[in-house]
Amino acid sequence: MEKLNEIAAAFPCPGTYLGDEPYGSGHINDTFKAFYEVDGQQVHYIHQRVNHTIFKDVPGLMENIGQVTRHQRAKFKEAGATEIDRRVLTLVPTAEDKDFYQDSEGNFWRTYIFVEGAVGIDVIENTDQAYESAKAFGAFQCQLADLPGRLNDTIPNFHHTRSRFDTLKNAIDADIHNRAAGVQAEIAFAFERESMVDVVIDLMATGEIPERVTHNDTKLNNVLIDTETGTGMCVIDLDTVMPGSVLYDFGDMIRTTTNQAVEDERDLSKVEMNIDYFAALVKGYLETASGFLTPKEKELLPMSGALITFEIGLRFLTDYLEGDTYFKTHREGQNVDRCRKQFKMVRSMEEQMDAMQKIVEGK
């Protein structure tokens, strides 16, 4: 256990501070589980250092999170929900009553109440988890449909797939680490599918697909699943909640919940899109989202998986070429393995597109 004394002092939580342990498997922020003792009982919090290289306006991001979680809380209350502190993230204020603290080194920290008895799943175990996570993300979008005003863009052009493609092209041209020669097959795969990148952004530009408040990072481990009941309890990782398209949200659910291989799986024979998981996702998502989806959005649900999986593959490949500066890596070549897995999933989804369409049409 390590002591984050400055952080613990900044967020006055009741009890005696015991220490912190690194927690979770996110690629971006530094997350810690904090241990406190209150009347002989252990109580936990989350201390999180926000990556301010990636999120350039942390105060603007925290303003979004404050607004979003307050709105969710009001919706849960209105609906008469129980255990609201386990269904929505709760920010713990600093001694100055702010939602974040900037430490002596300039890092930004926030603290959440720890959601007990629920976990983020890295690799899907059964169709119930697909159903539950999609239902939770759909309910999240539904709750935020009437959020007043416009949220700050925490990362501009986050799901602008064309700019992601252009950034890859620049990284290939610059090739600052001389890595391009080793990934020619991946580069060729990317170029063969260039036409895919504009589909959703063009439809958004013409207004055929509406802009909505979306999560933008709906990977499976960003919904906490109740360990007893298996219910999708709490949508977390709200850094990228901002205006976007539901298609990128649904697509990322397909990317991360329809296959039992890890995100950087090297044995690509294990990597196939599983249609039963897909069917469970569609069922869960439409239960909470069908009330607001337009026919065009619904029609494009199956292709959204290939689109965002391609986009994330482009981002992993770009990061590899740029020297692994964006996503946390734990070994050499991890980003290229992540890219290869994504591209294999794209291929598998392309092969099963007709079957995926039939499932959505049947609902």
Which residue among 114, 131, 189, 310 contacts ligand ADP (CB under 6 A)?
Answer: 114
**Which is nearer to ligand GN1, 94 or 329 (by Cβ)?**
329
Residue 246 interacts with which of ligand ADP, Mg ion, ligand GN1, none, CB < 5 to 8 Å by class:
none
Contact window for ligand GN1 (CB under 6 A) among 25-33, 145-153, 164-172, 196-204: 25-33
Q: Which of 20, 132, 186, 217 binds ligand GN1 (CB under 6 A)?
A: 217
Closer to ligand GN1 by CB, 220 or 359: give it.
220
x/- map, 61-90, ligand ADP, by CB under 6 A: ----------------------------x-
Smallest separation (angstroms) from ligand GN1 to the CB of 248: 10
Total residues interacting with ligand ADP, rule: CB under 6 A? 17
Q: What is the 3-state secondary structure (H, E, C) of the chain?
A: CECCHHHHHHCCCCCEEEEEEECCCCCCCEEEEEEEEECCEEEEEEEEEECCCCCCCHHHHHHHHHHHHHHHHHHHHHCCCCCHHHHCCCECCCCCCCCCEECCCCCEEEEEECCCCEEECCCCCCHHHHHHHHHHHHHHHHHCCCCCCCCCCCCCCCCCHHHHHHHHHHHHHHCCCCCHHHHHHHHHHHHHCHHHHHHHHHHHHCCCCCCEEECCCCCHHHEEEECCCCCEEEECCHHHCEEECHHHHHHHHHHHHCCCCCCCCCCHHHCCCCHHHHHHHHHHHHHHHCCCCCHHHHHHHHHHHHHHHHHHHHHHHHHHHCCCCCCCCCCCCHHHHHHHHHHHHHHHHHHCHHHHHHHHHCC
35 binds ligand ADP (CB under 6 A): no
- State yes or no: residue 249 binds ligand GN1 (CB under 6 A): no
| Residue of the chain from 69, 222, 288, 318 that contacts ligand ADP (CB under 6 A) | 222
Judged by beta carbon, residue 41 or residue 178, the one nearer ligand ADP is 41
Report in angstroms how near the CB of residue 210 gets to Mg ion at its nearest: 26
Q: Which of 7, 34, 46, 289 binds ligand ADP (CB under 6 A)?
A: 46
Enumerate binding residues for ligand GN1 (CB under 6 A). Answer: 26-28, 54, 217, 219, 222, 237, 239-240, 263, 312
